[in-house]
């Protein structure tokens, strides 16, 4: 019999992880390799949205500059006689903007350019201002400098980040159902996966609602909780793969690859915050190091669902001469 939360794929009492030929000879069952991918339209939507999210997330410093400065959206003003507010998109005075790298906000070249172009001094993209968060100088303190949270603190950033990520989160539910169909896990495992995934979605919702410039403490706490729930959910696939037979699917390999991103990024970001960030390296990479670590961890965390669904393979055992 299987373990309390683990059930073997071909049937109780059958060997796990043996060669395909031996299994066919001993059990009289044929092996059919199944791809977990959905239909072509769903696969295309999932892949395109995930790639677009990666481009958006990793390119946040560029997109912030492009929309706020290149397109001069910092100086955009809504003008209407019957609706409002009729104010500039970025209108925070320089004395209220604090650069984490020690510079004065009004001395930053791009800020001086904004002042010359607009004829205003209040050109800072403060809390929830701009298309994306301020990129003229870092706003997240000496330990972080730049972060994903600051860039997506504006409504445009929140909408694009979570909108593009939506199909990838849905893929986590899809792939769970697909794996269940083949692996047939126990009720205990199904309940745990549902609890972990539901917990992740609730915490991720609260993380997105609590902007880092309005409820910074709540934002950071639920970021941690959402990551914990997400990886508890992800590691259940590793558990199921081991129960079903490590060589009967590539689930364990996909989980391990994506876990590697996170296991590298989190310790490096911790080391950076505690030991290296205070050196004040002025280079672009020095100021954006924490941002790069965050993007690496997010890539590994949210990439597993789409990759399992698009590239996951599981061997299904069928009796010759039947359609099962």
Q: Is residue 51 one of the residues assigned to a domain?
A: yes
Domain extent, residue 175, equals 22-58+167-316
Q: Which residues have C-beta within 8 Å of that of residue 3, sequence separation ≥ 6?
A: 243
210 burial class (0-12, 13-18, 19+ CB within 10 angstroms)?
middle
Question: Which residues, 6+ apart, have CB-to-CB distance to 179 below 8 Å?
Answer: 36, 185, 237, 240, 251, 308, 312, 314
Q: Which neighbouring-strand residues pair with 249? A: 314
In-domain check, residue 284: yes
Domain membership flag for residue 79: no
Tell me how many degrees the CA angle 91-220-206 measures, rounded to the nearest 5.
Answer: 85
The bridge status of strand 313-318 relative to strand 30-35 is antiparallel
Residue 66 pLDDT: 94
pLDDT of residue 69: 92
- Report yes or no on 70 lying in a domain: no
Least Cα distance to 199 among 227, 240, 179, 171 occurs for 227
Residue 118 lies in a domain: no
Rounded CA separation 177/170 (Å) = 11
Question: For residue 9, what pLDDT is reported?
Answer: 44
Chain centroid to CA 174: how far?
A: 17
Within a domain: 309: yes
Per-residue pLDDT of the chain (324 residues; tens, 9 = 90+): 444 455 544 443 333 333 333 334 344 444 455 566 666 777 778 888 999 999 999 999 999 999 999 999 988 887 766 666 778 889 999 998 888 888 899 999 999 999 999 989 999 998 888 899 899 888 887 777 888 888 988 888 888 998 998 888 888 888 888 788 777 888 888 899 899 999 998 988 888 888 777 787 788 888 888 888 888 888 888 888 887 777 777 777 887 777 777 777 666 766 666 555 555 556 777 778 888 888 888 888 888 888 887 777 777 655 445 444
Q: Within 10 A of 288 (CB to CB), how many other CB atoms are there?
A: 18
Query: Across-strand partners of 313?
Result: 35
User: Among 70, 61, 63, 85, which residue's Cα sits nearest to residue 117?
Assistant: 70
Instruction: Judge whether 188 lies within some domain.
Output: yes
Q: Is residue 140 part of a domain?
A: no
Q: What is the pLDDT of residue 34?
A: 56
- Predicted confidence at residue 317, as pLDDT, reads 58
Beta pairing partners, 34:
314
Task: Count structural domains, the chain.
Answer: 1
d(CA 319, CA 197): 34
pTM over the 0.85 mark: no
HSE of 19, CA atoms in CB hemisphere, 13 A: 3
Task: Classify 130 as helix, strand or coil.
Answer: coil
Structure tokens belonging to residue 228: 């914990």
DSSP code at position 315: E
């Amino acid at each position: 019999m299987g373990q309390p939360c683990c059930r073997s794929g071909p049937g109780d009492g059958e060997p796990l992880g043996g060669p395909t030929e031996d299994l066919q000879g001993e059990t009289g069952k044929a092996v059919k390799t199944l791809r977990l991918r959905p239909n072509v339209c769903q696969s295309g939507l999932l892949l395109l949205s995930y790639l677009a999210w990666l481009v958006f997330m990793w390119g946040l410093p560029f997109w912030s500059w492009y929309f706020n400065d290149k397109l001069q959206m910092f100086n955009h003003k809504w003008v209407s006689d019957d609706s409002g507010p009729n104010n500039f998109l970025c209108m925070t005075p320089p004395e209220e903007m604090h650069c984490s790298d020690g510079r004065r906000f009004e001395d930053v070249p791009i800020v001086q350019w904004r002042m010359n172009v607009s004829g205003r001094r209040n050109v800072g993209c403060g809390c929830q201002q701009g298309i994306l968060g301020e990129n003229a100088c870092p706003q997240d303190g000496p330990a972080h400098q730049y972060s994903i949270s600051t860039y997506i603190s504006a409504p445009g950033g929140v909408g694009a980040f979570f909108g593009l990520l939506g199909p990838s989160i849905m893929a986590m539910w899809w792939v769970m159902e697909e794996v269940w169909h083949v692996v047939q896990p126990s009720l205990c495992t199904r309940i745990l996966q549902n609890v972990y995934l539901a917990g992740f979605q609730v915490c991720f919702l609260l993380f997105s609602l609590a902007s880092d410039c309005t409820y910074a403490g709540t934002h950071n706490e639920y970021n941690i909780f959402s990551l914990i729930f997400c990886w508890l959910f992800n590691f259940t696939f590793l558990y199921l793969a081991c129960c079903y037979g490590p060589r009967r699917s590539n689930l364990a390999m996909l989980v391990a690859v994506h876990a590697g991103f996170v296991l590298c990024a989190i310790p490096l970001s911790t080391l950076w915050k505690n030991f290296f960030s205070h050196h004040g390296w002025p280079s672009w990479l020095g100021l954006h190091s924490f941002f790069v670590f965050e993007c690496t961890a997010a890539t590994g965390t949210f990439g597993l669902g789409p990759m399992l669904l698009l590239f996951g393979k599981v061997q299904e055992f069928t009796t010759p001469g039947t359609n099962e």
